[in-house]
Amino acid sequence: MRLDKLLAHTGFGTRKEVKKIIKDGYIEINGTIAKKPGEKVDPDKDDVRVGGQRIYYEEFVYFMLNKPAGVISATEDFIHETVLDLLGPADLVQEPHPVGRLDIDTEGLLILTNDGQLTHQLTSPKKEVDKEYYARIEGVVTEDDVAKFEEGLILEDKEEDFKTRPAKLEILSVDEEENESEINVTIHEGKFHQVKRMFAAVGKEVLYLKRIRMKNLELDETLPPGEYRPLTEEEIKNLKPE
């Protein structure tokens, strides 16, 4: 890897800015002052230091974000705040992207990474990855609804109506006086507004929706909405295919 590329990817500025840092003699490679931006380095083996401080390079980054309502799952938008706007500058250097998407008013677990292969593994419909949500529902959810979710529901679509794959619906509580229910639901697709449309298909409305699990990664409930943290090595390992 070129030295200037390594420095840019680890947050020391643009290519133009790091070239000046190199020219001014602030960079050492294995104890020797670097002189050329194009000098080749091996991030895993070479001791590269900026002003005496060693730098470390990670090819891939993985973050867990507790997405708040009002923020969109996109890399850029000219109207709304995006999930990337919630990251610090140093964590944007590797250009992470959201793995799948959550609707603007949906909260909860969202993975951010620059690992395209993992993104494909987690979002491809063929992989049938679990996506579990907690929701508050207007209406009394019944065992008949549980059976319909398990069987699959026909949802209208602009291009072509489709039948959802079997979904697991768990009733947590029902308040008949308030005409509200609390549920967990696990789906294996990611169609536009899918959970909301599934409940609409059985005559009910989603009042609040929060993703709490994707595959075997559960939302860290100690993360306030809008906050994020790196995934642990164990969490990354568990997300990847065996």
Question: pLDDT for 199-227, tens place per residue?
Answer: 999 999 999 999 999 999 999 999 999 99
Beta bridge partners of 208: 136
Q: How far apart are CA 206 and CA 51, in angstroms?
A: 55
Burial class (CB in 10 A: 0-12, 13-18, 19+), 25: exposed
pLDDT surpassing 80 at residue 130: yes
pLDDT digits (tens, 9 = 90+) for 103-122: 999 999 999 999 999 999 99
Per-residue pLDDT tens digits for 143-171: 999 999 999 999 987 767 889 999 999 99
What whole-number percentage of the chain has pLDDT above 90? Answer: 64
Is 103 labeled as catalytic in the residue annotation? Answer: yes
Calculate ∠ Cα 218-221-226, nearest 5°. Answer: 100
Both tokens of residue 155?
A: 């949802």
User: What's the pLDDT at 231?
Assistant: 96
Confidence at residue 3, expressed as pLDDT on a 0 to 100 scale = 86
For residues 29 and 39, is the Cβ–Cβ distance under 8 A? Answer: yes
Four-point Cα dihedral 64, 69, 75, 81, nearest 10: -130
Catalytic one of 91, 103, 144, 175: 103
230 pLDDT higher than 80: yes
One-character DSSP codes across 14-44: -HHHHHHHHHTT-EEETTEE---TT-B--TT
- Helix and strand numbers (H, E) in the chain are 7, 15
